[in-house]
Homo-oligomer: A and B are copies of this chain.
Amino acid sequence: MQIEHGGALDRAVMHFGGPPADWIDLSTGINPEVFPLPVISTAIWNRLPDQMLLASTVEAARIYYGVGSEAGIVAAPGTQALIQILPELKTVGEVAILGPTYQEHAFSFQQAKWHVSHCASIEEISESANVAVIVNPNNPDGRITSVESLVDLARKMHGRGGFLIVDEAFADPHPETSLAAHAGMDGLIILKSFGKFFGLGGLRLGFALTSQGTAERLKLRLGPWAVSGPALVIAAHAFSDAKRLDDYTSRLKIRRKLLADVLAEVKLTEIGGTMLFSLIEFEQAHKLHDELCQKHVLTRKFAYAPHWLRFGLPLDESAASRLHKRLVLAISAVQS
């Protein structure tokens, strides 16, 4: 089984042709602007990433995410690397996943022989589930679950001998939704993606914020030198540069407005989203996806939701303006 993901521009270009530079890739929720990179010294490339480097990045993450000193923080080569090993923390049981959502959570638990139950709301989580997964804000619809109900749920899952995974991949520009201040409580594992907000999906870096005990088990499972030296240096720099962060966030907001404006102009209805993507509803969303591919715009369609299309952010006004033109043509082709 292969789960479909955004980001497969290579396959789209192979299938629909055109010079790669002409394509507008809006298929992921990754900020299209790379956060300004620091100089990476030769020693960082050469040497195994040492404990001091790791510790300084973890401490910068603690301040950036707002995590108390009692919590454990685990750095991993992408949150995906954590998703792969989370099912091993408990003996096989039942995991409830609030969906529809990012599909790798269910896949990972299935691979580990867990029983996976899909729920549409917290209330639907069965009494027999001892692990729950909630992406918050959710991908792709942007649904937000309140901090209070998540804390309650973590407590409940811990009471059942399990835990709650809150995947905050898209929470950076929505800090009010984050449970980071609660990290360290028993039964709570928060996942943080570095690459999405900071526009560094290629870097592979993510964090788990959790109890000290769970953190130690995850670190042991990942083994030594799990994260590259350049990733640690880049993250420590990005977390700590308040001025650059402010400017960077401002540009993200402008980018998000450019997308909202384009979608409004072509009368596509946003039914959800986050600062990093928009979900629209459209009768023939899959056909629109394919027409957009013909015009070298890659969006994200969903096999399970034929009326949904997810748009990532255009880099700048020029990309937004090209997107607008191509959307007008694609919608008219679909409707003709």
Contacts and interface: CB of A to CB of B under 8 A. Distances in A.
Contact of A108 (B14, B78, B223): B223
A202 to B, nearest CB: 3
B204 A225 contact: yes
Nearest to A231: B228
A45 B215 CA distance: 28
Interface string A47-83: 1111111000000000000000000000001101101
Given A202-B45, A225-B204, A10 B50 contact: yes
Contact of A228 (B34, B47, B228): B228
A224 B46 contact: no
A202 B34 CA distance: 21
B7 A30 contact: no
Contacts of A81: 77, 222-223, 226
A46 B7 contact: no
Contact of A202 (B11, B49, B220): B49
Contacts of A45: 34, 37, 199-200, 202-203
Contacts of A204: 49, 77, 225-229
A43 B28 CA distance: 13
Interface in A1-57: 3, 5, 7-11, 14, 25, 28, 30, 32-34, 37, 42-53
A124 B3 CA distance: 45
A111 interface: yes
B50 A224 contact: no
B48 A221 contact: no
A201 interface: yes
Nearest to A221: B84
A52 B8 CA distance: 9
Nearest to A42: B34
Most buried by B among A5, A10, A47, A221: A47
Contacts of A50: 7-11
A-B pairs with lowest CB-CB distance, top 8: A202-B229, A10-B52, A7-B48, A204-B228, A10-B50, A84-B223, A77-B77, A48-B201
Interface of A: 3, 5, 7-11, 14, 25, 28, 30, 32-34, 37, 42-53, 77-78, 80-81, 83-84, 104, 108, 111, 195, 199-204, 220-231
28 contacts: A5-B224, A7-B47, A7-B48, A9-B47, A9-B50, A10-B50, A25-B47, A30-B46, A30-B48, A34-B42, A34-B45, A44-B202, A45-B199, A45-B202, A46-B199, A46-B202, A49-B204, A77-B81, A77-B204, A77-B228, A80-B223, A80-B224, A81-B226, A203-B229, A203-B230, A204-B227, A204-B228, A228-B228
